[in-house]
Structure 1
Amino acid sequence: MKKISFIHAADLHLDSPMIGLKHLPANIFSRVKESTFTALKKLTAEAIEQQVDFLILAGDLFDGEDRSLRAQSRFRTEMLKLAEADIPVYVVHGNHDHLNGSWVHLDMPANVHVFHSEVETKVLQTKSGEWVHLYGFSYATRHIFDRKIDDYIRVDGADFHIGILHGNESTGIDHNNYAPFSVKDLHAKDFDYWALGHIHKRAVLSENPPIIYPGNIQGRNKKETGSKGFYHITLSEIDAKLDFIESSDIVWEELVINAESASSFHDVLRLCQTAISQVRKIQTGTLLRLSLKNIQLADERETRSLHDDLMELLREDEKDEVSFVWIVELNITESFPIDKEQLKTEANFYAELFETIEQYDNVEHALAPLYEHSLGRRHLSQLSDAEEKELLEKAEKLLIELLYQPVDRGG
């Protein structure tokens, strides 16, 4: 029975700047900066250990169109390891590392095969004799909105046909609609596997044939939570085996703790410590966004200590841990019940305020100055509907808390 084995990874974003994390302790920041390269090393080590027939990298190997020399050099080192193991690598470049960028060029070893700007077919005969046709293209420029899927044409004469496509499944609304396609489009091509890239969240769009986004190999910001990695695929004439391999050295997590049962600072501290122990991952660093909800301590001094001292206590001893859990953001919400109907009876202003907020639909205009700034254009992604709603809810709560001061509890 004919069979092939390969690794499918995408969105390496090597040497990503990890925006907004320079406040971390030096050793943790250094590890975060190194994390994309650490993930790449895990990827190549797995390929060599499993002695796969080939490796697919489905776009955005580099974080920017300038492709830093550091990133190219580190990538080349790993590709040389694969060359020594006689493992070919098939690469498409995506919107971040498109072919029209400007960079100092480093030659890659002969085992690295890069697809050009038009869809083409590359032919491989594996060491065990199977013939494989791989189809793909690299982005010529940053913005490709054409239906490149129409140019993928199956060429007879192979045991296995694999499509490589860096693009957006057309029903997805959270990302730019680059090289759009539908699952139906891919099924119609009669390929044995589709190696997708561009979306950083892992997703299996179809099992027969497998159509897979592996996600990125290392989370880079608070939106990219959870473990990241790549797929080891075994394809035969009758089935497919899909094994997800974790590669991220640093994991982003988000944790919400309902602290309504806590009556003291110590109670809150213990709740946090218990929760942190549950998210800790062996040999992996964790960057944690922690939210404490429904805080209502009787002692004002203990409440102040939550804001002044809790973060420092929770970070204590984490700096030198290999399996650290470092809190990058702590949000504390005190229990402050808001009765909108009651507030409306106290002043007409509140009724007008709530009505304005409910009807507000110009979030994009309000945020425009951020996106028009050069740094904003480069690093900020568009907000989803859920994120816009959350932003409005936070703004409403903040306004009410600023306008309405509850009766002083004394002390």
Structure 2
Amino acid sequence: MKKISFIHAADLHLDSPMIGLKHLPESIFTRVKESTFTALKKITKDAIEKQVDFVILAGDLFDGEDRSLRAQSRFRSEMLKLEENGIPVYVVHGNHDHLNGTWVQLTMPANVHVFTSEVETKVLRTRSGEIVRLYGFSYPTRHVFSRKIDDYSKINNIGFHIGILHGNEGSGSEHDNYAPFTIRDLLEKDFDYWALGHIHKRAILAESPPIIYPGNIQGRNKKETGPKGYYHVELSDLDTKLNFVETSDVVWEETEVDSSSATSFNDILHLCQQTINQVRKNQQGTLLTLYLKNIQLHDEREKRNLDGELLDILLEDEKDEASFVWIVDIHITESQLLDKEQLKMKANFYGELFETIKEYEDADNALAPLYEHPMGRKYVSHLNDTEHRELIERAEKLLIELLSEA
């Protein structure tokens, strides 16, 4: 039986600046800054332990076109470990680390094979004698909007054929349409596996053959929630085994706390502490966005404590925890259900206003004319689920406040 084993990772974004996090305690900020390198070390360590035949890195290894010497040096050190163990690495550069950037270049070891700006094929004979053909290209500049998929062409039927593509699947709307393709395009190429990059969410677009976005290896902001990592792939002429392996040392999460049952500040504090301990992960840091909802406190002093002391108490012991849970954002919402229903009953006009908000809960449709405009498409990104929810809640809260004063 013919069989190969490899690691597929993408969007490393080494040395990402982690914008907006400098307010963190020094120990946590240092760990967050190191997190992309920690994730890379996990990949190389696993590749050696699993004795994979090769590693694929499908674009955006570095966070910017002016990749730092620090990032290159750290990357080179990990590649040397793989070279010592006879593991080749196949690299394409994406829109963030394109080939036209300006940087002082460090020479990479001989096991690192970088694809040029045109689609090309690299051939590998594994230790067990299997032939693998890998197809790919690196971005010559930041913006590649052409259909590079048209330049991929299978060379005979011998061995395994793997396409590497940093680009955007055509039906997606959240990302710039770089090197666009459709699932049908990839299926028609008759390859054995498609190693994709560019989208920071893990996704299996097809299973036969596998068409995979592994997502990025380390979340960098509150939009990139949940586990991040790579796929370990075992490919044979009979079947395919896909195993997602987490690499992120720090995870972004968001959660809600329903405090409708709480009658005091201490009740709310206890609910928050319970939630934090449920979110906590062993030997892994968590950066948490907390939605504290349905506050029904009547004591003004306790309400003031929510604005100041609650967060301080929750964070008090976290900076020295290896498995820290650090709240980076907290949204406190007082209970509005009764007020909203009362206002609806006052007059049909108020009820119609709330129905209007409900109609616009599909914000993407409401904003469609803006997204479809050339300038709007360039400067305005689509709302994710969290931003969408926050926008609706803010609109409803503002409406209630205005109507209550009327």
Identify the residue that residue 105 of structure 1 maps to in structure 2.
105
Asked if structure 2 preserves the Cα contact closer than 8 Å seen for 1:11 and 1:217, the reply is: yes
Q: Distance in 2 between matches of 1:155 and 1:358?
A: 53
Q: Distance in 2 between matches of 1:400 and 1:258?
A: 22
Q: Distance in 2 between matches of 1:126 and 1:99?
A: 29
5 Å-filtered alignment, 1:247-396, equals 247-337=247-337, 338-339=339-340, 342=343, 361=366, 382-384=381-383, 389-390=388-389, 392-396=391-395
For 1:131, the aligned partner's letter is I
Change (3 A) 1:348 1:53: closer
Change (3 A) 1:26 1:364: farther
User: Aligned residues: percent identity?
Assistant: 64
Identify the residue that residue 120 of structure 2 maps to in structure 1.
120
Change (3 A) 1:236 1:347: closer
Greater displacement, 262-271 / 8-17 = 262-271
Q: Distance in 1 between matches of 2:163 and 2:367?
A: 41
Identify the residue that residue 156 of structure 1 maps to in structure 2.
156
How big is each residue's C-alpha offset from its partner over 1:75-101, in whole Å with a ceiling of 9 and x where there is no partner?
Answer: 011001111111000000001111111
Cα distance, 1:103 vs structure 2: 0.9
Cα distance, 1:307 vs structure 2: 1.4
Cα distance, 1:69 vs structure 2: 1.0
Greater displacement, 65-74 / 339-348 = 339-348
For 1:305, the aligned partner's letter is N
How big is each residue's C-alpha offset from its partner over 1:228-274, in whole Å with a ceiling of 9 and x where there is no partner?
Answer: 00011111110111111110000000001111011111111111111
Q: Distance in 2 between matches of 1:385 and 1:330?
A: 18
TM-score by length of 1: 0.90
Cα distance, 1:62 vs structure 2: 0.4
Asked if structure 1 preserves the Cα contact closer than 8 Å seen for 2:117 and 2:137, the reply is: yes
For 2:97, the aligned partner's letter is D
- State whether structure 2 residue 265 is matched by structure 1 residue 238: no
Q: Distance in 2 between matches of 1:271 and 1:387?
A: 22
Change (3 A) 1:295 1:391: closer
5 Å-filtered alignment, 1:12-23, equals 12-23=12-23
Q: Distance in 1 between matches of 2:190 and 2:370?
A: 45
Cα distance, 1:362 vs structure 2: 6.2
Q: Distance in 2 between matches of 1:150 and 1:363?
A: 30
Q: Distance in 2 between matches of 1:399 and 1:41?
A: 48
Cα distance, 1:198 vs structure 2: 0.5
Cα distance, 1:339 vs structure 2: 3.1
Identify the residue that residue 403 of structure 1 maps to in structure 2.
402
Cα distance, 1:141 vs structure 2: 1.0
Q: Distance in 2 between matches of 1:351 and 1:381?
A: 29
For 2:124, the aligned partner's letter is L
5 Å-filtered alignment, 1:187-226, equals 187-226=187-226
Identify the residue that residue 35 of structure 1 maps to in structure 2.
35
Asked if structure 2 preserves the Cα contact closer than 8 Å seen for 1:284 and 1:322, the reply is: yes
Cα distance, 1:298 vs structure 2: 2.8
Q: Distance in 1 between matches of 2:308 and 2:233?
A: 50
DSSP 3-state at the match of 1:339: helix
Cα distance, 1:351 vs structure 2: 7.5
How big is each residue's C-alpha offset from its partner over 1:383-410, in whole Å with a ceiling of 9 and x where there is no partner?
Answer: 3375664354244234335535679xxx
How big is each residue's C-alpha offset from its partner over 1:92-144, in whole Å with a ceiling of 9 and x where there is no partner?
Answer: 00011111111111110110000011110000001111110000001111111
Cα distance, 1:340 vs structure 2: 7.5
Asked if structure 2 preserves the Cα contact closer than 8 Å seen for 1:357 and 1:396, the reply is: no
Q: Distance in 1 between matches of 2:334 and 2:70?
A: 46
Q: Distance in 2 between matches of 1:123 and 1:362?
A: 47
DSSP 3-state at the match of 2:109: coil
DSSP 3-state at the match of 1:129: coil
Q: Distance in 2 between matches of 1:116 and 1:10?
A: 17
Change (3 A) 1:235 1:389: closer
For 1:86, the aligned partner's letter is G
For 1:313, the aligned partner's letter is I
Asked if structure 2 preserves the Cα contact closer than 8 Å seen for 1:344 and 1:351, the reply is: no
Change (3 A) 1:357 1:399: farther
Q: Distance in 2 between matches of 1:134 and 1:362?
A: 41
DSSP 3-state at the match of 2:308: helix
Q: Distance in 1 between matches of 2:119 and 2:314?
A: 52
Identify the residue that residue 88 of structure 1 maps to in structure 2.
88
Cα distance, 1:342 vs structure 2: 3.3
Runs of 5+ consecutive residues of structure 2 not aligned to the other structure: none
Q: Distance in 2 between matches of 1:384 and 1:307?
A: 27
Asked if structure 2 preserves the Cα contact closer than 8 Å seen for 1:14 and 1:71, the reply is: yes
For 2:340, the aligned partner's letter is D
Q: Distance in 2 between matches of 1:405 and 1:301?
A: 23
Identify the residue that residue 52 of structure 1 maps to in structure 2.
52
Asked if structure 1 preserves the Cα contact closer than 8 Å seen for 2:230 and 2:244, the reply is: yes
Asked if structure 1 preserves the Cα contact closer than 8 Å seen for 2:14 and 2:36, the reply is: yes
Change (3 A) 1:128 1:385: closer
TM-score by length of 2: 0.91
Q: Distance in 1 between matches of 2:87 and 2:12?
A: 19
Q: Distance in 2 between matches of 1:56 and 1:385?
A: 29
Change (3 A) 1:245 1:9: same
Greater displacement, 30-39 / 348-357 = 348-357
Cα distance, 1:355 vs structure 2: 6.5
For 2:189, the aligned partner's letter is K
